[in-house]
């Protein structure tokens, strides 16, 4: 399958690219490199340095590469930053995703996997979190992702051939088994690497 991975120069996106390549898929990476790392783009992968809000540019890429499905990881993900700069998150995460859907519609691409977040659940009613719990975010980051889930549902109702999956997860951590890909966040906010850095004496 010919797959476009947005945010493919980022942490989770680059791992998705690796797995797709291992599965024999034809992968194209789209990233504006505002927070991704060009060094994380694997050899043999076509790279387009584009912003999702460039609807015509993204649509042209989708057509040229004859993309069949999109995996969407291009988002800002710092909860604290989302509280102090909410418009940044609604612009990049929510509006950027809307623009991506517009480009997909123009290019006739109707399959997407969306990287959402468990932050859409806010303070959960019970633990462990299950998919059927009410979604009630407590910060702009969570809302910026939940709005996209709503947009995907509405877009799907209006377009019967459209299909999507939204992945909700927390605190992804670790590196590739061969050490070729790993975390490179500045600042680091994920709890598992923060704990490990503390144990190693790299932070208090």
Q: Are 35 and 51 in contact (CB under 8 A)?
A: no
Q: 71: alpha, beta or left, given left = phi > 0 and alpha = psi -120 to 50?
A: beta
CA-to-CA distance for 136 and 131, rounded, in angstroms?
13
3-class SS of residue 5 = strand
**Buried/exposed code over 149-167 (b: 16+ C-beta within 10 A; e: otherwise):** bebbeebeeeeeebebebe
Active site residues: 141
CA distances to 3, 53, 115, 202 from 57, rounded to whole Å, are: 17, 9, 22, 42
Longest dimension (CA), the chain: 54
Choose among 16, 28, 113: nearest CA to 63.
Answer: 28
Choose among 35, 36, 34, 27: nearest CA to 9.
Answer: 36
């Amino acid at each position: 399958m010919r797959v476009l991975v947005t945010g493919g120069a980022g942490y989770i996106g680059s791992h998705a690219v690796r797995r797709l390549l291992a599965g024999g898929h034809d992968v194209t990476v789209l990233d504006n490199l505002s927070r991704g790392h060009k060094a994380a783009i694997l050899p043999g992968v076509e790279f387009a340095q584009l912003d999702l809000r460039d609807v015509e540019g993204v649509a042209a890429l989708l057509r040229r590469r004859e993309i069949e499905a999109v995996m969407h990881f291009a988002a800002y993900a710092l909860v604290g930053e989302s509280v102090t700069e909410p418009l940044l998150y609604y612009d990049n995460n929510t509006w950027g995703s809307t623009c991506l859907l517009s480009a997909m519609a123009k290019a006739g691409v109707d399959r997407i996997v969306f990287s959402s977040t468990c932050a859409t659940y806010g303070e959960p009613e019970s633990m462990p979190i299950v998919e059927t719990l009410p979604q009630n975010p407590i910060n702009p980051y969570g809302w910026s992702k939940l709005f996209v889930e709503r947009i995907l549902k509405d877009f799907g109702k209006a377009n019967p051939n459209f299909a999507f999956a939204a992945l909700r997860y927390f605190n992804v951590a670790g590196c590739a088994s061969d050490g070729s890909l790993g975390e490179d966040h500045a600042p680091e906010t994920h709890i598992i690497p923060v704990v490990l850095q503390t144990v190693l004496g790299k932070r208090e």
